[in-house]
Amino acid sequence: MKDMPAVVAAINDIFFLAKVHDAIKGAGAVMKMARTADEALASARDGAALVLLDLNDRGFDPMALARSLRADDKLRAVPVVAFLSHVQAGLMQEALQAGLTEVLPRSVFSSSLPAILGRYMS
């Protein structure tokens, strides 16, 4: 289990998180759940192949986390795939400008999750 890739999930929606967990497990990786920005940063620093980020999370400031991930020399190269409501074009642009790898509408993220995991963990 130690040599399995880790995916940090900065997602507090427990129902959606269950779906994400199943997809990560199916991809042969382990999920590191992060309920706060500090937990996400610590988990990513501990070794992560990928960070998944809910830009609509109200439990922490997702954009502050995004900027922190990109400002950290050790984490700058870790892919960060974020999702948001499909009507938030402004937030999508802000997230891309902050350096996130991909920003997708939640429905696209959900339906594409196995492919996303395959793309960044291969």
- The total of structural domains in the chain comes to 1
pLDDT value at 12 more than 60:
yes
Residue 47 maps to a domain: yes
Q: What is the pLDDT of residue 42?
A: 97
Residue 55 maps to a domain: yes
Residue 15 maps to a domain: yes
Per-residue three-class SS string for 46-105: CCCCEEEEECCCCCCCHHHHHHHHHHCCCCCCCCEEEEECCCCHHHHHHHHHCCCCEEEE
Residue 1 maps to a domain: no
Q: What is the pLDDT of residue 90?
A: 87
What mean pLDDT is reported for the chain? Answer: 93
User: What residue numbers bound the domain in which 33 lies?
Assistant: 6-121
Q: What is the pLDDT of residue 32?
A: 97
- pLDDT single digits (tens) 27-71: 999 999 999 999 999 999 999 999 999 999 988 999 999 999 999
* pLDDT-based confidence at residue 1 (cuts at 50, 70, 90): very low
Q: What is the pLDDT of residue 2?
A: 56
CATH code for the domain in which residue 28 is found: 3.40.50.2300
Residue 72 maps to a domain: yes
* Range of weakest confidence among 1-5, 11-15, 84-88: 1-5
